[in-house]
């Protein structure tokens, strides 16, 4: 296989018709090049979608109340109902698979007009009453100060964590907001933190940079929400599916508030885990399609090489006949033909692989220098496993491309080959 004379012969044969060899090799080059480009681009699209989710807890469920659609226990259909504070410990005690539970209230939004004032500046922002656990489910990056904590909840403190756009509107450039006071719907709150969102693809209630978080208990007391809870965000423990806590929570909440067990429309819910699984399935499908198309393109080039090897075998019929006549076994002829095919395929494919990786790396570098944080296409890359797999496909393809010409070569009888003109 590694005989020097044999490889010199292979090189001589391929150089004999350079243009034909170049065109043949280009098919394989283009096939592996396009495979690498598509794989890298598919990875870039996946990275953009996943990074857009940031560190959002992907096994989370969100629940809110809606009008009932069925009468139950003497109560009419189309009835309004709300969650209450008493639901919180019941959910924690009866769902052992629950990791985080974050009740939430949503106050005025930016569409309702200016609701936040500081001095002579004002703006319309989303105001939420939250528990500290919310930052475990939909985390933000704290730029200054801190987020809400349990003491804020226990003591119903009038403190607020604000988004970057809130800071930019209410405070002068370079001014430190920490420790300053803002007036939210007539009540003063002390700013204890400034944050920016980590993820950009998931929003609940509005733009996060225009959001203000205050303690849940404070919002209930200060703005007369009484005992009501707007909605629940909950996350399953790592070893459990979000569907499990979703099903259990719905059963518990329906039972506690006299909602018909089969009235699923009375509970609004959104399962991030299910959507995340769909997204992973989508990208797995894209990945599979990319490999099918890429390998199909590569096979077209391999078929071209096989056809050219058939022509080469036909041109060298007399030479092969002489080899057989002086005692060369069929194995030697087969090995020589397959070696030529593998050499040409691997050489062309290697350059295609290198060119594809180079283009992907250049694209990734350019995007890192110029792209924004909300880009849905991010960090295209080709991992080492893909490169090794591509090389394996090349070698196998070269062997397959040489098998048919090699078998045809050994089928020719030496006497007939010597007579061939």
**3-class state of residue 180 by DSSP:** coil
Question: What pLDDT is stored for residue 149 in this prediction?
Answer: 95
Question: What pLDDT is stored for residue 247 in this prediction?
Answer: 92
Question: What pLDDT is stored for residue 164 in this prediction?
Answer: 94
- Residue 303, pLDDT > 70, answer yes
Question: What pLDDT is stored for residue 9 in this prediction?
Answer: 60
What separation in angstroms does the CA of 321 have from each of 176, 313, 324, 421?
A: 90, 11, 5, 12
275 Cβ contact partners less than 8 Å away, ≥ 6 residues apart: none
Sign of CA dihedral 367, 368, 371, 377: positive
Residue 212 region by backbone torsions, left for phi larger than 0, else alpha for psi between -120 and 50, else beta: beta
365 Cβ contact partners less than 8 Å away, ≥ 6 residues apart: none
Q: What percent of the chain has pLDDT above 70?
A: 78
Residue predicted with more confidence, 5 or 153: 153
Determine the Cα–Cα distance for residues 242 and 265; give it in Å rounded to an integer. 19
Instruction: Report the relative pairing of strands 159-163 and 187-197 from DSSP bridges.
Output: parallel
What average pLDDT does the segment 33-56 reach?
75
Determine the Cα–Cα distance for residues 268 and 253; give it in Å rounded to an integer. 12
pLDDT, averaged across the chain: 81
Determine the Cα–Cα distance for residues 349 and 29; give it in Å rounded to an integer. 5
Question: What pLDDT is stored for residue 384 in this prediction?
Answer: 72
DSSP assignment of 84-115, as one string?
A: ETTHHHHHHHH-TTEEEEEEEEE---GGG---
Which value, in Å, is the radius of gyration of the alpha carbons in the chain?
Answer: 34
Question: What pLDDT is stored for residue 315 in this prediction?
Answer: 62
DSSP assignment of 243-262, as one string?
A: HHHHHHHHHHHHHHTT--TT
What average pLDDT does the segment 396-411 reach?
72
Show me where the domains of the chain are located.
Answer: 4-54+277-419, 99-241
Q: For every residue of 268-332, which 3-state class applies, written as one string?
A: EEEEHHHHHHHHHHHHHHHHHHHHHHHHHHHHHHHHHHHHHHHHHHHHCHHHHHHHHHCCCCHHH
Q: Please tell me whether the overall predicted TM-score, pTM, comes out greater than 0.75 for this model.
A: no
What separation in angstroms does the CA of 330 have from each of 320, 361, 408, 411, 413?
A: 10, 46, 11, 9, 11
Over residues 218-277, the pLDDT tens digits come to 999 999 999 999 999 999 998 888 899 999 999 999 999 999 999 989 999 988 878 777
Cβ atoms 211, 128 nearer than 8 A: yes
Cβ atoms 102, 134 nearer than 8 A: yes
What average pLDDT does the segment 385-407 reach?
74
- pLDDT confidence tier of residue 55, bands split at 50, 70 and 90: low
Residue predicted with more confidence, 365 or 235: 235
Residue predicted with more confidence, 234 or 369: 234
Instruction: Report the relative pairing of strands 126-130 and 211-215 from DSSP bridges.
Output: parallel
Question: What pLDDT is stored for residue 318 in this prediction?
Answer: 62
Instruction: Report the relative pairing of strands 98-106 and 83-84 from DSSP bridges.
Output: unpaired
Residue reference for tokens 């539970």:
101
- pLDDT confidence tier of residue 43, bands split at 50, 70 and 90: confident
Other beta carbons within 10 Å of 364: 20
> Which tokens go with 375?
């880009």
- pLDDT confidence tier of residue 299, bands split at 50, 70 and 90: confident
Determine the Cα–Cα distance for residues 248 and 254; give it in Å rounded to an integer. 10
- Residue 12, pLDDT > 70, answer no
Element (H, E) at 215: strand 211-215
Span of 13-27, 83-97, 124-138, 368-382 with lowest mean pLDDT: 368-382
- Residue 161, pLDDT > 80, answer yes
Over residues 162-218, the pLDDT tens digits come to 999 999 999 998 899 999 999 999 899 999 999 998 876 666 666 788 999 999 999
Question: What pLDDT is stored for residue 80 in this prediction?
Answer: 92
Q: What are phi and psi of 386, to 5 degrees?
A: -65, -40
What average pLDDT does the segment 74-85 reach?
92
What average pLDDT does the segment 354-359 reach?
87
DSSP assignment of 50-88, as one string?
A: HHHTTT--TTEEEEEE---SS-BTTBPSS----EETTHH
Q: What is the DSSP letter of 1?
A: -
Over residues 121-151, the pLDDT tens digits come to 999 899 999 999 999 888 889 999 999 999 9
């Amino acid at each position: 296989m590694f005989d020097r004379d044999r490889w010199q012969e292979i090189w001589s044969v391929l150089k004999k018709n350079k243009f034909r060899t170049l065109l043949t090799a280009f098919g394989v080059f283009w096939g592996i090049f396009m495979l690498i480009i598509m794989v890298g681009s598919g990875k870039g699209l996946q990275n953009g979608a996943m990074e857009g989710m940031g560190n959002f807890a992907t096994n989370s469920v969100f629940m809110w109340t809606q009008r009932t659609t069925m009468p139950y226990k003497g109560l009419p259909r189309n009835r309004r109902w709300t969650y209450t504070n008493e639901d919180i410990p019941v959910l924690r005690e009866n769902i052992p698979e629950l990791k985080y539970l974050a009740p939430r209230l949503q106050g005025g939004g930016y569409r309702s007009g200016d609701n936040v004032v500081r001095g002579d500046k004002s703006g319309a922002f989303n105001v939420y009453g939250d528990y500290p656990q919310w930052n475990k489910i939909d985390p933000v990056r704290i730029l200054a100060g801190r987020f809400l904590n349990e003491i804020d909840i226990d003591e119903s403190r009038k403190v607020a964590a604000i988004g970057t756009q809130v800071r930019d509107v209410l405070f002068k450039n370079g001014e430190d907001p920490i420790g300053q006071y803002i007036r939210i719907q007539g009540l003063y709150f002390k700013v204890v933190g400034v944050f920016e969102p980590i993820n950009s693809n998931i929003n609940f209630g509005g733009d996060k940079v225009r959001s203000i978080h205050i303690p849940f208990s404070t919002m209930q007391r200060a703005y007369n929400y009484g005992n009501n809870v707007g909605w629940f965000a909950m996350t399953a423990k790592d070893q459990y599916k979000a569907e499990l806590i979703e099903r259990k929570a719905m059963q518990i909440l329906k039972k506690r508030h006299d909602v018909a067990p089969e009235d699923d429309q009375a509970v609004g819910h959104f399962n991030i885990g299910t959507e995340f699984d769909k997204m992973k399935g989508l990208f797995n499908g894209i990945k599979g399609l990319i490999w099918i198309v890429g390998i199909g393109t590569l096979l077209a080039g391999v078929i071209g090489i096989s056809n050219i090897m058939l022509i080469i075998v036909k041109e060298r019929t007399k030479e092969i006949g002489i080899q057989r006549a002086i005692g060369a076994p069929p194995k030697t002829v087969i090995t020589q033909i397959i070696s030529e095919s593998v050499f040409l395929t691997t050489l062309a494919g290697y350059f295609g692989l290198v060119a594809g990786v180079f283009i992907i790396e250049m694209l990734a570098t350019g995007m890192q220098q110029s792209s924004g944080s909300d880009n849905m296409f991010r960090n295209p890359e080709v991992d080492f496993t893909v490169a090794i797999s591509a090389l394996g496909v090349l070698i196998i393809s070269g062997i397959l491309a040489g098998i048919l010409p090699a078998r045809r070569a050994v089928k020719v009888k030496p006497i007939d080959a010597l007579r061939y003109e």
